[in-house]
Structures are given as structure tokens and as C-alpha cells.
Copies of this chain bind each other. A is one copy, B any other.
Amino acid sequence: MKIINLDHISATPVLPEVQEAMIEAIKMNYGNPSSQHKIGDKAAEALNAARESVARLINSPIPKEVVFTSGGTESVNLAVKGVAFAHSNKGNHIVTSNVEHNVILRSLRRLKMMDYHVTSVPVDEYGRVNPDHVAKAIKDETILVSIMHSNNEIGTIQPIEEISQITKEKKVLFHTDAVDSVGVVPIDVQKLGVDLLSFASNPFYGPAGVGGLYIRRGIKVWPLLDGGVQENNKRAGSENLIGIIGMGVAAELTLRDMDSRLSHLKKLREKLLQELPQYLTEYHINGHPEYCLPNLVSVSIKYIEGESVVLMLDEDDIAVSTRSACAAGALQASHVLLSIGRDFADAQGTMVITFGVNNTEDDIHRFLTVLKDSVKTLREISPLYTQTNAAKAAQA
């Protein structure tokens, strides 16, 4: 039986047109874009073309503002550490939020080991940052504000434009981790008003292991990778040209298909949310009802463990995730769910469903059917569920 992929946040399938372009690039056997001879020239042309496509996707007016990286993780690390190191003469304070991705959390933890200080602002019950809190957190020593565009666990989209008004007034650099937004929802770096924006190729059906960092012209960032003069002197190393070419084509397809993808994803999400009450009792939907990703649903299911649901669904060839795959090794409760007020048990019982362009309404139906059975089985063996029901029966 076909595997139903409802875990697109871990990995999307690379689209056929992107695959073809990458296969073509492999057969072309490109040289090194930095070489000074013909073999290198063709590689340099292909690199520039991809950069222009990717710049268009985020509406960067100058393609050189896009620095290709090895993925979202490198982009975020380069943004945060690159700004911190380059501006340490001005200050050593960074403002972030309580619901950022592990990449930000751990990059900032690393910087704290190097005498930087961090203020993390809270979020409301929907996972949204209050821009006033950001304004209040900014001090004279603040060199960077880093707030994600959309949350990878609950899908909430942050008020980035409002925050960028504040950072502009206060003359502090602003980075947004838009890894789960770029290519999923329309992103315009000029409209958002950010100085740096991290993104990756895979969320829009390009290959994994390729990403980009938008760095507004004139912003000083220390490279994490020193060496050659590649990527406008901001990221040394021979390029993963095959991956970059794939990302370029994926960006073009996304620009072409954004509207139809959005309506398809929203339809699936609506269907799931509408039908869920027929299949499940005692659950919460996490995240903001309006400011949210169109492809993500986070459900906290009472009395069970998310990990167990993932494993049971997997036996029925349905892939979902408990949280980001990056954190799969760590069995702690999600800091995001705790930040929006879920208790430890609810956080443990959470499942993240992420749709892609290939999902169908039938996929939703099969998922709901299997979910219902899985939750029933798991609750039957849950001591907490049994106790709570016994208590309810006694009260009745």
C-alpha cells in the first residue's frame, strides 16, 4: 500500500520537474563556478540563474543579497552567529522568543557560552509574540532581534512587519527564521522589512541540504565558513551546484503555483479540522486560528503519547510527526507547547500533521479512520484514561 505522507515538515518529496533539472545538471558535469576557464563559465551561469530565481521567490531586489547555504540550519546559524560576531563591538545582547526552533535555541545557547546575553519574550496562548514585548526587551547593547516567521510545531505566523517597524526605529538588526514559510506562503523581504531571512529549499519541494540566507545589502555579517570568496564573500566553499540548481527550479515552480497550492492546502486543512470531531474526543488544536501556516495542524490528544500514535500510524503506512524531525532524538516535552500553556501531559500527546501538494482528501479520510482506532487502542491501555473515566463515572 502507498505510504500517506502527512509529515511534510520533516521532508517534502522533490517535484518531478526539480528532479529532472537535477538529473540534467548531474549529466552536464559542471565545473567550478570560480574557475577562470570555459568549464567554469557554464557552472557560474547556472549558479547565477538559480540565484535570480530564488531572489524572485522572496522578492529580494538584488540577487546577490541571497547567499546559498547547506540548508536552513546553516542559514540560521550564519545569521545569528554572523551578526553576533560582526557586531560584538556594539553590544552583546540578543532578543528572541520562547517558541523558536531548536536551531535558534541552540545557536543562542552557544553564544551564551561566549559571553552574549539573551532575552526571550513570551507568547500568547496561540503562540504569538506581542511586538510591545520585543520593544521593551531591546536595550542599548542589543545587536539583534531574531523572531521566527512561522512556527514549525504549531504553525503560528508572527507579526514580523510590526516587529520590523520597531527594530528599524531602534536601529537594531532583525533576523527572521522563515524556513517553514518560504515557498509555503508568499514572502516578500521588502514588505516584511527584515535585515536577514533564513530559508531552505525542501519546504517548497526542492532538495534537502540546500538553503539560503537573505542578507540585506550593507549588513555586516562574519562568515561562519571562511576560505574562498564565493557567495559575495559571505560563505566560502565550492557550491553544491546540483542542489542549488534544484532549488532554483523549485523556486520558479513555487512562484508559478503558489495560489493553487495555497487553496489546495487550505482545503485539506479545513477538511481535517471540520471532520476531526467525528473521529476524536478530548483534544486541542494548537496555534493561531487565523495567523497560521496553511499546511500544518497540531493536535494535542489527551491521555496518550504522541510518539505512540506516530508508531501506530506508521504501521498503517501513514507518516506524521510529534515535533520537528530535528528534535526526534530528544524525548523532552516541547518548549513551544509548554510556552502556549499546554501542560506536560498534553505536550507529550501532541501530533503534527503537515500536508503537501500531493495529498488528497482521501488521505485525510484514511488518516482519520486509522487515527480513531489508534487513539482508542492507546487510551484503553492508558492508566490515566482509565482512572479519569472511573472518576467521571463515580461522579455521574
A391 within 8 A of B: no
A19 within 8 A of B: yes
Docked-complex contact B35 and A11, CB < 8 angstroms: yes
Q: Which chain B residues lie closer than 8 Å to A226 at the CB level? A: 73, 77, 103, 106-107, 109-110
Report the count of interface residues on A (CB-CB < 8 A).
81
Docked-complex contact B319 and A39, CB < 8 angstroms: yes
CB < 8 Å: which of B77, B103, B325 contacts A34? B325
Docked-complex contact B319 and A227, CB < 8 angstroms: no
Bound form: Cα–Cα A228–B200 in Å: 15
A230 within 8 A of B: yes
Given contacts A38-B314, A242-B243, is CB(A227)–CB(B107) below 8 Å? yes
A70 within 8 A of B: yes
Q: Which chain B residues lie closer than 8 Å to A237 at the CB level? A: 70-74, 209
Docked-complex contact B32 and A11, CB < 8 angstroms: yes
A339 within 8 A of B: no
Q: Which chain B residues lie closer than 8 Å to A106 at the CB level? A: 226-227, 236
Looking at A85, A222, A225, A330, which has the most chain B CB atoms within 10 Å of its CB?
A: A225
Question: Interface on A for B, CB 8 Å cutoff?
Answer: 3, 5, 7, 10-11, 13-14, 19, 22-23, 26-27, 29-32, 34-40, 43, 69-74, 76-77, 85, 101-103, 106-107, 109-110, 114, 200, 202, 207-210, 222-230, 236-243, 307, 310-311, 313-314, 317, 319-322, 324-330
